[in-house]
Amino acid sequence: MRPGSVIAYVGLGANLGNAAQAVTDAIAALDGLPGTRVLRRSSLYRSAPHEATGPDYINAVVALNTHLTAPELLAELQGLERAAGRQRPYRHAPRTLDLDLLTFGEGRIDSPRLTVPHPRITERAFVLLPWAEIAPDRVRPEHLARVSDQEIAKIQGI
């Protein structure tokens, strides 16, 4: 039996190739997933790598309305990453596209394959700032204060 519609939030990032185009293309692809529509999308943000090295990242967050289950949505996200040339040679490696399922409705999942809410949401300015832009009620001020030292800026004109 298929679940009803759920609001899920997805974090997007890339720092290889044309990262801004990769993130923009991924947002369009998310809107084309089966039973899924993008409800809101943040601006694009440029951020320094967090716990990693390499070029700056381009990041965004989208709100999806989906009829997919959380595991189905995760599989679709990973398929989009593969299609964009994502490789995982080591932890925190630079990437052509990274899609993280941040939340799935109000659900909590803790399995070997998927943890929702994403366990490191509150540690990452590149998630919190774009998320606060589209869903300010989901981001607590104390979490934003905790990441205020991380380098991130909204990209104007894209």
For the chain, which domains are there? 6-154 (3.30.70.560)
> Helix 70-83 and helix 19-31: axis angle, to 10°?
140
- Say whether 137 is catalytic: no
Model confidence pLDDT, tens digit, residues 94-145: 788 999 999 999 888 888 888 888 878 889 999 999 999 999 999 999 999 9
- Candidates 41, 46, 98, 124; catalytic one: 98
Helix H segments across the chain? 19-31, 70-83, 125-134, 141-146
Q: What does pTM read for this prediction?
A: 0.91
Q: pLDDT above 90 covers what percent of the chain?
A: 68
- Say whether 98 is catalytic: yes
Task: Say which residues have a Cβ less than 8 Å from residue 81's Cβ, sequence separation at least 6.
Answer: 95, 96, 97, 98, 99
Which pLDDT belongs to residue 10? Answer: 97
- Say whether 37 is catalytic: no
- Say whether 2 is catalytic: no
Q: Is 13 helix (H, G, I), strand (E, B) or coil?
A: strand
In whole angstroms, what is the distance from residue 41 CA to residue 8 CA? Answer: 12
Helix H segments across 8-146? 19-31, 70-83, 125-134, 141-146
